[in-house]
């Protein structure tokens, strides 16, 4: 439309005011009244869009309220384009106002009242707006008092709500829509959905931040469904408790707990304003003690099929798309991995895995789950992220959800950019890559992410560090002893079994890898078969041997059954001592171990065994014995079985039998396991000789050598010592600390290490973990009464009496002979990693509360270090108090002639928003310290 054109002989176009996916809004002149109007023309009218447009027009025509934009007329142009004329309003949206500043208490309450008045009128007519958000609330003249509600484009009446929702109508805006709206629960969708949205708007007005935050729709939906927003007074403690409680009611997940409609909101608001005590700012009482909540390492797989982008490219609105049939199908596939399945309203499928072994095993399980999901959904983008989340049995939320959402958005963006719109392989984040590097085929992708291609054959690759194989250091003696034991066995020949044990990350797998490489180099004729136990199949008969046979035959699991049978026959045929008849018989029975069944007619004895479980139980071991005897006749044979703590008794008993019966064959077994293997299989090796080697901590000199090889000789000795000390002899920890330094993250403990530490903390009872989390807020040193102050009065002393001696006995803590504070028992964590792991498990609200309570307790105990108090108050969300103590700390630094520290502390205080006299004092210290440092530098230059 061009200026001067006239619509329906009444509305003269003046200019374009706004445009979007639904159409264009013009400023026009109403020739009938002489007043300006907002003329909305539908952009690309199709049947569905025209229906929605007509519906909006009829709803506006039905509503006549000063808080709702006024309907003027609607109709159709000669070109059959629907139009809607509304009163012209000058001003700005509430979203524009909030982008500049949060509202004060009076303005926020005015927004609440005005919007509730508009909604009360709509709800009285059975109309649910369904898209209340700051962008749809116009402040006429820029004043809150002039607020009007706009855009009833997705509003629904009781008459049309159910039918239109079933067809997949637009649902609302993530971050403001009610939970029942996000899940498409049309049976519960009524006026209370608007009340939830209004609660989210008022929360944002009062606090200056949205109630639900997330960079991507997937993360927002998950938080909306499962995460409670912070209470208003947690962010602004000076606001009235009664208002805080009322906003929390509006934001209740259960619609039954919310006010019934806009009129009920007004009634409640009137009651609050009549109560003279409701405006008093009582001290916050929401979080008076560290809660039982814990952040845990979690792996999250997310998938979403590609769909055409919306007409305007906007991601602001959603279409109901709950893939119920697919969700049910996924439950069956996800169950073996221990994954929880959730379907979000935008069509995203989320599978979350937590509490499965240590971080490495959990990530491996999640990787297999992601690969499986990619097979089920070949047209979907699949991503995998690992991180921390508060896991409560419902859909986890937190940083890991945001990370997964970012990966999914990137994957979708790149897939849409290709003409064939084909999704990439599974995309994973850096944390997952670090945990999977030794087991899976991974390649670098764009934007610091990686592609997970497939699981590697066990034993064929070494862990990489900074893009290249990690140097092998510190285990030369163990490698030499193992090599000599095996070479003696092969030259005897005399079958031999060796067991390597050690805790996770100590270097067992790397030693195994180096041993195999050395043996292959020195003995090219050797056959090496490698199998691995898996926590998913732990205890399943022959799962361990099946893994080794599949690897030896080259069976990956994706081939059809006939191809797998051919590979087994080919494996057996490599033993020249076996005749054609024996080959088929042996391959058929080995197929029972591998999980590749042969047809009954493949061999007469196999056919007979199929009819008798007892005969099958006899014939399987005999076939494996025959196979191993023939294989060893061709040359030395080494069977390597890793992670046998997740093995099975049937496999281990059969291997023990082979060791006994092949007395003159060059055969050896190398078992690799965690230290708990003896508890899992306590009597398995009775009657047979097993050479056992327990790996201890990586020697300090070897650890220092690894650091210098990877980070260079220029690293200060103190930093080398810090890394080595923190790793405590664990090779995995040391490599991850090296990676963090190389990537500029030296100040943060890597998630990979925290996940491994978490596995140890998992064995500690929950009550003791809560005490440790409270203690960790103070740092590596804490005081009994200080930790109890963070736990609240109820039961606190009992916790300490019960668990402190227990933790001392288990060498988690140690008691100091002298305490910095008189009459206070002082304790310390035995290892910094345990403290860091406990601290990392604190949810954000517990961490902030803990630091505030710790600061208050330290003040009472007589803490004189102002910097310690300042940091606690800063982390505890008390910037005003933190500023004051940063000033004291800067003064203390000046008194100690430490100008550099004084300047740094003054800058930290200024960054927190110091005011008036305190600001002037901090600026004075900063300028004085800077001047002193300049003079010192000049003096040093002249003397040199």
Residues with a catalytic annotation lie at: 131
Q: Tell me if 25 sits within 8 A of 40, measured CB to CB.
A: yes
Cα–Cα distances in Å, from 122 out to 127, 149, 225, 874? 5, 11, 26, 46
What SS3 state is found at 83? strand
Cα–Cα distances in Å, from 74 out to 44, 85, 439? 17, 6, 65
User: In which order are the strands placed within the sheet that holds 440-444?
Assistant: 340-343, 349-354, 295-305, 380-390, 426-428, 450-455, 440-444
Q: Tell me if 688 sits within 8 A of 660, measured CB to CB.
A: yes
Length of the chain as a residue count: 944
CA angle 482, 488, 490 (to 5 degrees): 105
DSSP 572-597: HHT-TTS-HHHHHHHHHHHHHHHT-P
Cα–Cα distances in Å, from 603 out to 302, 398, 582, 609, 628? 46, 57, 9, 10, 20
What SS3 state is found at 669? strand
Instruction: Measure the CA dihedral 65/68/72/74, to 10°.
Output: -120
Q: Tell me if 751 sits within 8 A of 387, measured CB to CB.
A: yes
Bridge pairing between strands 667-673 and 496-501: parallel
φ and ψ at 823, to 5 degrees?
65, 20
Whole-angstrom distance, CA of residue 412 vs CA of residue 884: 49
* Nearest to 451, CA basis, from 468, 467, 429, 466: 429
Whole-angstrom distance, CA of residue 719 vs CA of residue 739: 14
Total Cβ atoms within 10 A of residue 167: 9
φ and ψ at 169, to 5 degrees?
-70, 160
Total Cβ atoms within 10 A of residue 935: 11
* Nearest to 128, CA basis, from 72, 198, 220: 198
What SS3 state is found at 14? strand
The half-sphere exposure of 734 on its side-chain side, counting CA atoms within 13 A, is 33
Q: Tell me if 427 sits within 8 A of 412, measured CB to CB.
A: no
Name residues whose C-beta falls within 8 Å of residue 539's C-beta, 6 or more positions apart in sequence.
648, 649
φ and ψ at 549, to 5 degrees?
-70, -40
Q: Annotate 140-207 with three-state secondary structure.
A: ECCCHHHEEECCCCCCEECCCHHHHHHCCCECCCCCCCCHHHHCCCHHHCCHHHHHHHHHHHHHHHHH
User: In which order are the strands placed within the sheet that holds 826-829?
Assistant: 781-783, 826-829, 813-815
Helices (H) and strands (E) in the chain, counts: 36, 28
Terminal CA-CA length for the chain: 78
- Torsion region of 355: left, alpha or beta (phi above 0 gives left; psi -120 to 50 gives alpha): left
Q: Residue 357 has what DSSP assignment? A: S
Name residues whose C-beta falls within 8 Å of residue 21's C-beta, 6 or more positions apart in sequence.
43, 310, 311, 312, 313, 314
């Amino acid at each position: 439309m061009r200026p001067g054109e006239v619509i329906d002989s009444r509305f003269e176009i003046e200019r374009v005011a706004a445009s979007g996916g639904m159409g264009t809004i013009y400023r026009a002149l109403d020739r009938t009244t002489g007043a300006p109007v907002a003329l909305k023309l539908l952009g690309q009218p199709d049947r569905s869009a025209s229906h929605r447009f007509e519906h909006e027009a009829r709803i506006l025509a039905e509503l006549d309220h000063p808080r709702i934009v006024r309907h003027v007329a609607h109709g159709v142009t000669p070109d059959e384009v629907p139009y809607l004329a509304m009163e012209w309003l000058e001003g700005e949206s509430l979203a524009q106002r909030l982008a500049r500043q949060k509202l004060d208490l009076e303005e926020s309450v005015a927004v609440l009242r005005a919007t509730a008045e508009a909604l009360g009128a709509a709800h009285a007519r059975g109309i649910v707006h369904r898209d209340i958000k700051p962008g749809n609330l116009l402040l006429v003249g820029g004043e809150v008092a002039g607020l009007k509600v706009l855009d009833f484009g997705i509003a629904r009446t009781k008459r049309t709500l159910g039918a239109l929702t079933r067809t997949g109508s637009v649902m609302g805006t993530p971050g403001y829509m009610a939970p029942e709206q996000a899940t498409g629960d049309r049976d519960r969708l009524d006026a209370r959905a608007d009340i939830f949205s209004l609660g989210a708007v008022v929360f944002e007005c009062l606090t200056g931040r949205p109630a639900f935050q997330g960079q991507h729709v997937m993360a927002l939906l998950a938080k909306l469904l499962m995460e409670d927003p912070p209470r208003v007074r947690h962010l602004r403690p000076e606001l009235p408790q009664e208002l805080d409680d009322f906003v929390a009611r509006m934001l209740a997940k259960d619609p039954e707990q919310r006010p019934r409609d806009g009129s009920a909101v007004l009634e409640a608001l009137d009651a609050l304003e009549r109560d003279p005590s409701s405006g008093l700012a009582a001290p916050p009482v929401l979080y008076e003690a560290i809660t039982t909540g814990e952040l845990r390492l979690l792996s999250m797989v997310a998938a979403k099929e590609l769909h055409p982008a919306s007409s305007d490219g906007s991601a602001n609105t959603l279409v109901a798309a709950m893939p119920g049939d697919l969700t049910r199908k996924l439950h069956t596939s996800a169950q073996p991995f221990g994954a929880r399945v959730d379907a979000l309203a935008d069509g995203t499928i989320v599978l979350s895995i937590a509490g499965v072994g240590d971080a490495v095993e959990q990530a491996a399980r999640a990787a297999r789950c992601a690969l499986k999901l990619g097979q089920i959904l070949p047209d979907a983008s699949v991503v995998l992220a690992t991180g921390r989340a508060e896991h409560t049995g419902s859909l986890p939320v937190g940083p890991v959800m945001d990370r997964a959402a970012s990966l999914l958005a990137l994957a979708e963006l790149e897939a849409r950019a290709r003409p064939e719109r084909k999704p990439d392989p599974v995309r994973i984040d850096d944390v997952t890559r670090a945990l999977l590097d030794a087991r899976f085929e991974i390649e670098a992708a764009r934007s610091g992410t990686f592609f997970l291609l497939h699981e590697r054959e066990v034993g064929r690759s070494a862990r990489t560090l900074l893009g290249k194989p990690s140097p092998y250091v510190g285990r030369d003696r163990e490698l030499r002893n193992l090599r000599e034991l095996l070479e003696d066995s092969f030259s005897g020949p005399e079958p031999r079994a060796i067991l390597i044990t050690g805790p996770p990350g100590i270097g067992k797998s790397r030693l195994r890898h180096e041993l195999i490489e050395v043996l292959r180099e020195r003995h090219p004729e050797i056959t090496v078969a490698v199998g691995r136990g898996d926590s998913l199949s732990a205890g399943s008969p022959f799962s361990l041997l099946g893994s080794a046979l599949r690897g030896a035959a080259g069976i990956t699991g994706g081939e059809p059954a006939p191809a797998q049978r051919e590979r087994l026959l080919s494996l057996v045929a490599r033993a020249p001592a076996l005749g054609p008849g024996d080959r088929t018989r042996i391959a058929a029975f080995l197929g029972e171990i591998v999980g590749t069944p042969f047809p009954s007619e493949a061999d007469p004895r196999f056919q007979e065994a199929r009819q008798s479980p007892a005969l099958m139980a006899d014939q399987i071991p005999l076939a494996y014995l025959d196979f191993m005897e023939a294989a060893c006749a061709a040359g030395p044979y080494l069977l390597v079985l890793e992670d046998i703590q997740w093995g099975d008794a049937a496999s281990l008993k059969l291997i023990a039998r082979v060791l006994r019966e092949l007395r003159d064959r060059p055969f050896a077994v190398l078992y690799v396991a965690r230290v708990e293997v003896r508890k899992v299989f306590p009597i398995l090796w009775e009657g047979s000789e097993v050479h056992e080697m327990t790996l201890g901590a990586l020697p300090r000199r070897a650890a220092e050598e690894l650091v210098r090889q990877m980070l260079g000789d220029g690293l200060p000795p103190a930093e080398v010592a810090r890394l080595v000390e923190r790793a405590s002899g664990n090779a995995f920890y040391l490599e991850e600390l090296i990676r963090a330094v190389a990537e500029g993250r030296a100040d943060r403990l890597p998630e990979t290490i925290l996940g491994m530490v978490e596995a140890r903390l998992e064995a500690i009872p929950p009550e003791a973990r809560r005490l440790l989390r409270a203690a960790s807020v103070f740092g590596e040193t804490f005081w009994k009464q200080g930790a109890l102050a963070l736990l609240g009065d109820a039961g606190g002393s009992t916790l300490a009496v019960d668990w402190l001696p227990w933790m001392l006995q288990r060498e988690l803590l140690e008691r100091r002979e002298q305490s910095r504070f008189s009459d206070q028992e002082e304790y310390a964590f035995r290892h910094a990693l345990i403290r860091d792991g406990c601290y990392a498990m604190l949810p954000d609200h517990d961490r902030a509360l803990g630091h505030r309570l710790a600061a208050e307790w330290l003040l009472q105990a007589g803490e004189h270090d102002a910097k310690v108090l300042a940091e606690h108050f800063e982390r505890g969300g008390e910037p005003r108090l933190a500023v004051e103590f940063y000033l004291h700390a800067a003064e203390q630094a000046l008194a100690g002639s430490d100008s550099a520290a004084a300047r740094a502390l003054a800058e930290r205080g200024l960054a927190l928003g110091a005011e008036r006299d305190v600001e002037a004092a901090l600026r004075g210290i900063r300028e004085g310290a800077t001047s002193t440092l300049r003079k010192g530098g000049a003096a040093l230059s002249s003397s040199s």
